[in-house]
Amino acid sequence: MAEIRPEQQTTTISRTFLIKPKLKPKPRTQSQTPESKYWSSFKSTQIPNLVSSISSISFSPSAPHLFAAAYSASLSLFSPLSLSDGDVSPSFTISSFSDVVSSLSFRLDGLLLAASDLSGLIRVFDVKTRTPLRRLRSHTRPVRFVKYPVLDKLHLLSGGDDAVVKFWDVAGESLVLDLMGHKDYVRCGDCSPVSADMFITGSYDHTVKVWDVRVENSRSVLEVNHGKPVEDVIYLPSGGLIATAGGNSVKIWDLIGGGRMVYSMESHNKTVTSICVGRVGKGNGGGEAMEDRILSVGLDGYMKVFDYGNMKITHSMRFPAPLMSVSLSPDCRTRVIGTANGIIFAGRRKGKENEESGRGNVLGFGSTVEPERRVLRPTYFRYFHRGQSEKPAEGDYLVMRTKKVKLAEHDKLLKKFRHKDALVSVLGRKNPENVVAVMEELVARKKLLKCVSNLDAEELGLLLMFLNKHATMPRYSSLLMGLTQKVIEMRAEDIRSSDALKGHIRNLKRSIEEEIRIQHSLQEIQGIISPLLRIAGRR
Q: Tens of pLDDT along 184-242? A: 999 999 999 888 889 999 999 999 999 988 887 778 889 999 989 999 999 998 888 99
Burial status of residue 79 (CB atoms within 10 A of its CB: 0-12, 13-18, 19 or more): middle
Q: What is the pLDDT of residue 225?
A: 92
Residues 6+ apart with CB under 8 A from 256: 240
Q: What is the pLDDT of residue 190?
A: 92
Residues 6+ apart with CB under 8 A from 439: 423, 448, 479, 483
> Does a cis peptide bond (omega within 30 degrees of 0) precede residue 64?
yes
Q: Within 10 A of 224 (CB to CB), how many other CB atoms are there? A: 24
Q: Within 10 A of 433 (CB to CB), how many other CB atoms are there? A: 11
Q: What is the pLDDT of residue 358?
A: 36
E-state strands within 432-472: none
Q: What is the pLDDT of residue 153?
A: 86
Q: What is the pLDDT of residue 511?
A: 86
Q: What is the pLDDT of residue 351?
A: 59
- 481 sits in which H/E element: helix 474-490
E-state strands within 249-356: 249-254, 260-265, 272-280, 291-298, 302-307, 312-318, 323-328, 334-339, 344-348
Q: Within 10 A of 194 (CB to CB), how many other CB atoms are there? A: 12
| Cα 323 off chain centre by | 13
| Cα 216 off chain centre by | 37
Strands 302-307 and 291-298: antiparallel
Residues 6+ apart with CB under 8 A from 134: 123, 124, 170, 173
Q: What is the pLDDT of residue 189?
A: 92
First-to-last CA distance in the chain? 154
Number of Cα atoms under 13 Å in the Cβ half of residue 504: 26
Domain residue spans in the chain? 34-348, 412-537
Q: In what order do the strands lie in the sheet with 207-212?
A: 186-191, 198-203, 207-212, 222-225
- 443 sits in which H/E element: helix 432-444
- Give 10-residue mean pLDDT values along the chain (539 residues): 47 50 55 78 81 87 88 87 75 86 90 91 90 90 91 89 90 88 91 89 92 84 91 90 92 89 89 87 47 89 88 88 90 88 85 41 43 66 69 77 83 89 86 89 89 88 87 85 87 86 86 87 88 80
Indicate the SS3 state at residue 108.
coil
Q: In what order do the strands lie in the sheet with 312-318?
A: 272-280, 291-298, 302-307, 312-318
Distance, in Å, from the CA atom of 245 to the CA atom of 231, rounded to the nearest integer, reads 6
Q: What are the Cα distances from residue 271, in Å, to 294, 298, 323, 328, 488? A: 16, 5, 10, 20, 57
Architecture of domain 34-348: 7 Propeller (2.130)
